[in-house]
Amino acid sequence: MYFAGALLAIVIATTVLSTRVESAEAASEEVLRVCADPDNLPFSNKAGEGFENKIAEALAKDLKRRVEYTYFPQRMGFVRNTLRKKDPTSLQFLCDVIIGVPKGYELTATTRSYMRSTYTLLFVNRDELTAVKTADELTKLPPAKLKSLRIGVFAQSPGSDWLLRNGLIEQAVMYAAQSGDPEENPAHIIGRDLAAGKIDVGIVWGPIAGYLIQHHAGEQKWRAAPFATDPTIKFDYEISMGVRFGEKQWQNTVDTWIGEHQPQIDTILTSFRVPLLDASGAVMQTNLESGT
């Protein structure tokens, strides 16, 4: 009798769990649950103004779903508190896809890449910098001018490695890789300090440079010079979408959508002036000056 009772309890528990899972799957057919940062333009924000918001909306439309977000600052603990976290009542995961993660990201399964971009220099387009069309050309400035530049860079980034290689680290204005303030992000920091004249040049991820150029309204124009692909420093990265490990069917669904809608995604990205790289590593986006 004991074993029969135990078996019955297992059957009942399994049935309840199965019902909850089936309910979750039914709900997922109506809702695209997206894990996102609430204040991290140009990527995402609560107002839906980032390019990741726009890509999520396009994905949801084609899947005939509506978008719902789980927000958490995209820093340490992001995946744990979004993609991997369950609601204690429904047992559903809070969200099902991260729109932007590096291809091969170790914390999620990843789709095919939909974007390849590169780090860039961002600077006020002063007379002495007009000849700088690529990042390497900065090092060709007259030594006195080069040594006078204050260069904003984030710690543990390709930019800091580049400064070290070129003997420019003493001119670095170094920022923490992650701020403890959830309302701060790289675009805020670099944009504010460049506008205030605290730095002459910033080294930032390409989408951030494009966004700051697009929204700069000052009298002096801002311009970006991209880093070329490099054999020793990784400047360019492919960006994919992140899903949970083991959810192969869902991963395939998102992967297929990306493959079928790459031109639409590219249109969204270029509207944000993201410097995109082609298969050979050449920059395709050339509109990298404010006021144009």
Q: Which CATH architecture has domain 2-114+237-271?
A: 3-Layer(aba) Sandwich (3.40)
Q: What is the pLDDT of residue 3?
A: 30
Same fold, 2-114+237-271 and 117-226: yes
Q: What is the pLDDT of residue 19?
A: 37
Q: Which CATH superfamily is domain 117-226 in?
A: Periplasmic binding protein-like II (3.40.190.10)
Share of the chain above pLDDT 90, in %: 73
194 to each of 140, 144, 221, 222, 288, how far by Cα in Å? 22, 21, 12, 9, 16
Q: What is the pLDDT of residue 28?
A: 57
Q: How many CA atoms lie within 13 A of 290 on its CB side?
A: 20
| Cα gap 269→117, rounded to integer Å | 10
Q: What is the maximum span of the chain, computed from C-alpha positions, in angstroms?
A: 90
Task: Give the residue among 186, 190, 206 at the shortest CA–CA distance from 274.
Answer: 206
- By CB neighbour count within 10 A (0-12 exposed, 13-18 middle, 19+ buried), where does 22 fall? exposed
Q: What is the pLDDT of residue 116?
A: 97
Q: Is the pTM of this model over 0.85?
A: yes
Residue ranges of domains in the chain: 2-114+237-271, 117-226
Q: How confident is the model at residue 286 (pLDDT cuts 50, 70, 90)?
A: low
